[in-house]
Structure 1
């Protein structure tokens, strides 16, 4: 009996082994197929995701239905008059992230068609935004919060003047100038808010309008004083560990100083130093992206999601990454973050609007100044879409980012503080 069952038993073992090997090969093949994603595929994913986020804001503003349709979800203990601030928040923050992408020339690709539609609708909506007789006229004239979000509007104009500012009609341009100047009746917080006032005045300087040099100078001086070292600024007199160096400080300071140098109102070395510090800070941002695309949810305003990577995205956009950080590893790291954050619909409601939370509907983590409009700052993580599709950021083969190298035993650069 034992001998009669020996052969069938071996056959069973062989079949099981073959099935196991086949399954392993299939899994390996599947993993290989998943790994082979081109930069052009990454780019289309970025473009589709940015379009998905921005479309409800831009389209509704163009149609005159933004105030009608934008949800008014509020963080716990929210203390602002939401209807006076949230709409400008949504518009300014959305367009600041869109601007570099919309600045690219038209083309006949799927992405190009989306980009042109987005630009055309935004230009239409911007005229509505400053028309006092339009239902979607945005409030610049009262409350302190508009100081913040007018600066994001101005930042978009600075980032894409030929796409977003120059095409506006004379009346709309005049109205924006008047709205920006109206902000001078109020003062903001004694922290990163100084940069908001400075940047808006910097834009007025850039287009040859009367500006307030004191607001510009004060914002620059305080940022210099608040530099904490190793690429980090203190947000005010006391340091806080959060992403405000990326949400606001580095990008606005560098672009404001760039405008001042252009107008011969600042020294080139001041700009160069601020840029060096942003480059250094961007190294930290690249390193905090975990191998699986997650990143730490610490500090204020984690509901701003991918805006946490604005400084890294802008450094890559400017093609100023340190030599040891390949453009492709930044692309792959940020793509991993975006897949983690936006592959599902957990961050959107049934009508496509962003919901309060970090990765999902988590209103308990929203700050007391956060409403639905605030969330559209997430677009700032997509700035590198402003590089054309044939740039090496998009064409180079996939590369591991630093933490992925570290956790897989690959060679990586040691990290040391800098003295500037």
Structure 2
């Protein structure tokens, strides 16, 4: 295991120095390794339940011992999947990727083996519907790296655990999408999917579109980051499977993607010149997951023409430096702590425990772009808010009709 301390890697250059894309990539990959390695390496060693702390506040309302471990695994997998899908190389980063991918494949086998100490709970409680969905999203994002290399027994066990989720239902909101993508994943690997769960997710999420790139999370609109935490990225990945299987039209997928691109414009503008962003709405402890949609649009190379890849890189890098260098978000053993910028347990929600926090890995999706992609090679560029607050020209923003 690489010895990396994110808080020790604070920028040593002056504020006027120009950071290169290569430096940004090194920072991102080291930070993601630090964040993900305790989950992945412990799961590979069958010590996740032994070593992972369970932090929660006094209002917590779930059975943490039955749900928090799958939360950590599923969410971490979804965040690292594009990065681990890159080919091996002899760089430090390449060696970190290979270590984590090899360990994760072993860990997945452990997690669905009933005789293993780290056997993950898919069979009871409602929460596993959510975190299996992030695992499904990881398999869909990196099938050749994370699904195809698994042995036949493990593949069969994974499929059976996903089918076992059908005994339960969840909330009447984004949870419909969790159930839907679980079925879409089963369909993608040749299993029989539940058509009702597929159609219900598709129909209701579409009905909850309120306009200008925003979905309502259920019948009532909530101003928070759930459009990025869940709805846009998971809906696009869900529709991609359905379109491949001729269950929706290609134009339906294209519209979902177009709406995510529009939403990404807002999140790029949310990032202040100082690298902060508003801490509003539910689940602020998910930290950098607030930029999953923006990162996925960048990963897909679908950014609007006026948003250059380098300005997204620089904007998200500024957030990471502000959040992870200036606040201690890790405990002494490298596990994430409850909070937004440091330890702030009182802001945790009734469903938030240590495992929940690994949503933060979802902010690192552009690491799936190779190091020679323009996202990493273009010179540093100011993002929209930085332009606006330094008297530079910037694009006016208007409502869209789709």
Given the two structures, how large is their TM-score scaled by the length of structure 1? 0.92
Q: For the Cα contact (< 8 Å) 1:231–1:277, is it kept in 2?
A: yes
Task: Flag structure 2 segments of 5+ consecutive residues without an equivalent.
Answer: 1-11
Q: Which residue of structure 2 lines up, in the alignment, with residue 190 of structure 1?
A: 172
Counterpart Cα distance in 2 of 1:309 and 1:291: 16
Q: For the Cα contact (< 8 Å) 2:61–2:351, is it kept in 1?
A: yes
Match of 1:161 among 137, 143, 146: 143
Map residues 247-326 of structure 1 onto 2, 5 A cutoff: 247-326=229-308
Q: State the Cα RMSD in Å.
A: 1.1
Q: For the Cα contact (< 8 Å) 1:76–1:367, is it kept in 2?
A: no
Deviation at 1:147, TM superposition (A): 0.2
Q: Which residue of structure 1 lines up, in the alignment, with residue 360 of structure 2?
A: 378
Q: Which residue of structure 1 lines up, in the alignment, with residue 8 of structure 2?
A: none
Runs of 4+ in 1 over 3 A off after TM superposition: 30-34
For the residue of structure 2 that corresponds to 1:35, the secondary structure is coil
Deviation at 1:264, TM superposition (A): 1.1
Q: Which residue of structure 1 lines up, in the alignment, with residue 66 of structure 2?
A: 84
Q: Which residue of structure 2 lines up, in the alignment, with residue 330 of structure 1?
A: 312
CA offset digits 1:256-288 (Å, max 9, x no partner): 101111111110110011000000000000000
Whichever structure has more helix as a proportion of its residues is 1
Q: For the Cα contact (< 8 Å) 2:296–2:365, is it kept in 1?
A: yes
Structure 1 residue 126 corresponds to structure 2 residue 99 = no
The number of residue pairs the alignment matches comes to: 391
Map residues 7-406 of structure 1 onto 2, 5 A cutoff: 34-344=16-326, 346-406=328-388
Deviation at 1:370, TM superposition (A): 0.2
For the residue of structure 2 that corresponds to 1:209, the secondary structure is coil
Deviation at 1:75, TM superposition (A): 2.7
Counterpart Cα distance in 1 of 2:314 and 2:15: 16
Q: For the Cα contact (< 8 Å) 1:75–1:369, is it kept in 2?
A: no
Given the two structures, how large is their TM-score scaled by the length of structure 2? 0.96
For the residue of structure 1 that corresponds to 2:210, the secondary structure is strand
Counterpart Cα distance in 2 of 1:390 and 1:151: 31
Residues 140, 403 of structure 1: alpha-carbon distance in 2 compared, 3 angstrom cutoff: same
Counterpart Cα distance in 1 of 2:37 and 2:251: 40
Counterpart Cα distance in 1 of 2:135 and 2:69: 12
Counterpart Cα distance in 1 of 2:225 and 2:249: 28
Counterpart Cα distance in 2 of 1:78 and 1:200: 26
Counterpart Cα distance in 1 of 2:290 and 2:161: 29
Q: For the Cα contact (< 8 Å) 2:129–2:179, is it kept in 1?
A: yes
Counterpart Cα distance in 1 of 2:278 and 2:399: 21
Counterpart Cα distance in 2 of 1:127 and 1:252: 24
Deviation at 1:35, TM superposition (A): 2.6
Q: Which residue of structure 2 lines up, in the alignment, with residue 413 of structure 1?
A: 395
Q: For the Cα contact (< 8 Å) 1:46–1:382, is it kept in 2?
A: yes
Q: For the Cα contact (< 8 Å) 1:76–1:363, is it kept in 2?
A: no
Task: Flag structure 1 segments of 5+ consecutive residues without an equivalent.
Answer: 1-29
Deviation at 1:76, TM superposition (A): 3.3
Counterpart Cα distance in 2 of 1:53 and 1:128: 20
